[in-house]
Amino acid sequence: MEQKLKSEQTQQLIIDTSFQLFYKDGFQSTSINQIMKATSLTKGAFYHHFKDKREIGVAVINQIVFDRIHKYMILPLQQEGDAIEILKDIFTKKIRTFTDYEKEKGCPANNLINEIGNTEEVYQNALRDIIDQWTSAIEAVIEREKKRGTIKENTDSKAVGTFLVSAFEGVRGLRKLYHDDAILEQYLVGVSTYLDQLRYSS
């Protein structure tokens, strides 16, 4: 049992360290040797857990990247209350909490989509699964609220999901490009205005 726990901790160390290096330097620029050096693991210990960088990349996407989006962007959608205000909160609150480092480096998911999303099917599928779950969760909220009469009946839920995710991911890329928080403020106004327009008014 103790050996199994140690093995799981070592594996998690590799995944966590790889995520940080990918985020800091980019996936393509990070080598296996850099990850080994950062974890202080021997070659034998390292390759006992992962046979190559592809396996590490998939693990980082499935665990770290998915967990972040699930925790901050998907789970909060399950709250009861005013759906428009909940969506506003989700798609604006997180933006306001970013550190300067996070603003500079952008969104981990979007970085990976741009770097490796079209290179290999295994990466593409893992990243698509995250985005699909995210957009589907938004669609479910919109459909639920249409039935309740709080959101306009003619609202295209798929379009809303795609737009919100695209806007959130896109503005993080623009912030990297411009190094200017005004971009984020413009996004916050835009997304709030858009969501208000979905609200049903008798």
Where along the chain do the CATH 1.10.10.60 domains lie?
1-51
Quick one: pLDDT at residue 201?
84
For tokens 């500079």, name the residue. 104
Quick one: pLDDT at residue 192?
96
Burial of 39 (0-12, 13-18, 19+ CB in 10 A): middle
* pTM confidence score: 0.92
Where along the chain do the CATH 1.10.357.10 domains lie?
53-198
**The total number of residues written for the chain in this structure:** 202
> In this model, does residue 33 exceed pLDDT 90?
yes
Q: Yes or no: say if 105 and 22 are a contact pair by the CB < 8 Å rule.
A: no
Q: What is the dotted CATH code of the domain comprising 53-198?
A: 1.10.357.10
Average pLDDT value for residue range 21-49: 93
Q: What is the dotted CATH code of the domain comprising 1-51?
A: 1.10.10.60
Q: d(Cα 136, Cα 139) in Å, to the nearest integer?
A: 5
> In this model, does residue 105 exceed pLDDT 80?
yes
Rounded percentage of the chain residues whose pLDDT exceeds 90: 87
